[in-house]
Structure 1
Amino acid sequence: MASILCLPSASTQPQVKAESAQVQVILMAGQSNMAGAGNFDALDPKTKARLRQLGDQITIVTKRQSIQATNKQLFTESKYHLKKYGFERTFGPELAMLLTLTATHPEQRYLVIKTAYGGTSLHGAWNPNWSQDKAQAAEQGAYKQSLKLFAEHIQQIQQTLAYLTQQGTNYRLLGLGWLQGENDTNSALKAMHYKQNLQNLVAAYRTQLAQPELKVVVAQINMQAKKYPEGTNLVRTAQQQAADADPFIRLLPTSLDPSWIDYPKHFDNVHYNTKGQINMGKTFASAFLSF
């Protein structure tokens, strides 16, 4: 059944005057739920038509798609998801977030710069203070142990912003959306260091981007405990504490109710399904608007 994304009608939208040349930039980072397992083909026809209508008003830059790409896609093609879930064209929370933001600010342009990789840890691949020892302790397999995702995201951001500057395009950095932590629940080492690692990550983004008050929206993980029983609660608490300690971090609370009524999931009880990704994207949008 098609999944419907309800947006404010044109008659109720606040009409916000914006600089036509200015682009609002949102950074997004994390692991598999940020990469996204929403089914693009399950979106209803009105939503797809709206996306086509927006055109260059919204742009998503990923590892697979640079800002210079001529054939811009709003979905990712994944053989892995085709095998696991039965669909190939996937999306993450950025899609519903952008639809919601443009419904509220219909004259504004938005750019998302996203790096996400499934099954990676904040203690390892995402650690801004990356080391081989930390990567080997936190990640499974030689390839993930070689990933330096924070550095990769920073490079991607800097290259994209430099391109905007070269094109004479003004931009404003709205903030960072962070959706990660499931991998860090599976060992005491990663779970117990999560708060400090998250604070280090936020500080590193702010330093690298020269944005000392960079706004950060953290989506609280809500997976069931697996390898390490205390891991889920430790990471959830760490995310809450990091947000409480920083006026520029906003937490998106989630429920551990296995019905996943707030953010519905696929059968694996880990990854948000189409409706879950839509709900998550709309919540991210509300948080950025609240700033």
Structure 2
Amino acid sequence: MRLVLTLVMCLGLAMPAFAAGKVQVYILAGQSNMQGQGVVDFDHPEYYTGGKGILNNVMKNPGMAERYSHIKDAMGKYVVRDDVFVRHVTKEETKIGGLSVGFTSYPGKHHIGPEFQFGHLLGDATKQPVLLIKTAWGGKSIYKDFRPPSSGGQVGPYYVQMLEEIEQALSAMKDEFPQIGKNYELAGFVWFQGWNDMFDKEALTQYEDNLVNLVSDVRTALGTEDLPVIIGETGNMGEDAGDNMKQIRLAQKSAADKLSNAVFVKTTSFARPKEESPNVGHGHHWFGNAESYFLIGDAMGNAMIKLKRLRN
């Protein structure tokens, strides 16, 4: 499907030819579920339930095989795209490269997040190269950690760091991804967060307003007042969620309704039982089920394509 960039360079072959236009930059922000917790290949019988719900196995489901057919090449290796790129700063390193498995906060290539299928879809729908800037941290609330300036009080340190990472990524693009050029367009913002605001009454009450303020302030800070925005639902636990989570979901939808050029993406139907997943004790992380994260990215990607009226 696509040649791996490093192979192209090593063999001295022609660089990929892109259509004239600016690099399409998407910002993927939030907390641990945006970082990505979907397990790719760990299958220890005790610690990972023998591989139930991991990417290597869910893609073998006959009913889903066609949907996953683009993620591996003819040799059975996970595709590394040469037209979609990812930058994600973790505690250990700055991960950069062509879209594939492994662009999460964990070392190695053993997990995926929403960026995985989101990037595949946007790459297929866009003639120009795509850059995904992931900026996410686990265990963070909008109420405190991502608190935007318009909400008053002390601006959240992770709101500040998010903008700093975006600026750093854009400044470094010509050096880190020389093959795609230096001209870019901020094409979209995807937000996937909400868990930590559920456990504080004031945070829960303020969530809708804080989310509206965050999106508005990010747009202003980036100079893109009509930046397309996707807000992903906190859909963990599916329809059996508690009242606090249901309140967060309503706030997320209401925030999207209040904002211009924004779409709320439901995710509850992507929750899978813990018995069919690798991390049975991690309900806050969708039990590590790779199909959940694949489908979340799929829904977000299709929503962005529709919002931007891109070809599909």
For the aligned residue pairs, the C-alpha RMSD in angstroms reads 3.6
8 Å contact 2:86–2:134 — kept in the other structure?
Answer: yes
**2:87 partner letter:** V
SS at match of 1:112: strand
**Structure 2 CA distance for aligned equivalents of residues 286 and 24 of structure 1:** 16
Q: Which sections of structure 1, spanning at least 5 residues, go unmatched?
A: 1-16, 80-86, 136-146
**Structure 1 CA distance for aligned equivalents of residues 167 and 97 of structure 2:** 20
**Structure 2 CA distance for aligned equivalents of residues 218 and 24 of structure 1:** 19
**2:283 partner letter:** N
Change (3 A) 1:237 1:46: closer
Cα deviation, residue 31, structure 1? 0.9
Cα deviation, residue 236, structure 1? 1.1
> TM-score, normalising length from structure 1?
0.73
**Structure 1 CA distance for aligned equivalents of residues 94 and 203 of structure 2:** 32
8 Å contact 1:187–1:231 — kept in the other structure?
Answer: no
> Is 1:189 matched up with 2:217?
no
Q: Which residue of 2 aligns with 1:138?
A: none
**1:31 partner letter:** Q
Change (3 A) 1:255 1:158: same
> Is 1:154 matched up with 2:163?
yes
Q: Which residue of 2 aligns with 1:269?
A: 283
SS at match of 2:297: helix
**1:193 partner letter:** Q
Q: Which residue of 1 aligns with 2:88?
A: 62
SS at match of 1:24: strand
Q: 2:224 aligns with which of 208, 211, 228?
A: 211
Cα deviation, residue 191, structure 1? 0.5
Q: Which residue of 2 aligns with 1:38?
A: 38
Q: Which residue of 1 aligns with 2:4?
A: none
**1:117 partner letter:** W
> Is 1:47 matched up with 2:75?
no
Cα deviation, residue 208, structure 1? 0.7
**Identical aligned pairs, as a percentage?**
26
Change (3 A) 1:194 1:246: same
- 1:122-141 to 2 correspondences below 5 Å: 122-129=142-149
- 1:36-115 to 2 correspondences below 5 Å: 36-41=36-41, 42-43=55-56, 47-49=71-73, 52-55=79-82, 57-64=83-90, 66=94, 74-75=101-102, 76=104, 78=106, 89-105=110-126, 107-115=127-135
Q: Which residue of 1 aligns with 2:13?
A: none
Q: Which sections of structure 2, spanning at least 5 residues, go unmatched?
A: 1-16, 42-54, 60-68, 308-312
Cα deviation, residue 40, structure 1? 3.0
**Structure 1 CA distance for aligned equivalents of residues 105 and 254 of structure 2:** 36
Change (3 A) 1:54 1:95: same
**Structure 2 CA distance for aligned equivalents of residues 260 and 46 of structure 1:** 26
Change (3 A) 1:35 1:259: closer
**2:34 partner letter:** M
**Structure 1 CA distance for aligned equivalents of residues 119 and 294 of structure 2:** 11
**1:98 partner letter:** G
**1:214 partner letter:** L
> TM-score, normalising length from structure 2?
0.68
Q: Which residue of 2 aligns with 1:290?
A: 306
CA displacement 1:230-279 (0-9 Å, x = unmatched) = 42122111111111112311000233797569xx8953333231000100
8 Å contact 1:121–1:184 — kept in the other structure?
Answer: yes
8 Å contact 2:86–2:132 — kept in the other structure?
Answer: yes
**Structure 2 CA distance for aligned equivalents of residues 150 and 194 of structure 1:** 15
Q: Which residue of 1 aligns with 2:138?
A: 118
The alignment of Structure 1 onto Structure 2 pairs a total of residues equal to 250
SS at match of 1:232: helix
Change (3 A) 1:187 1:162: same
**1:270 partner letter:** H
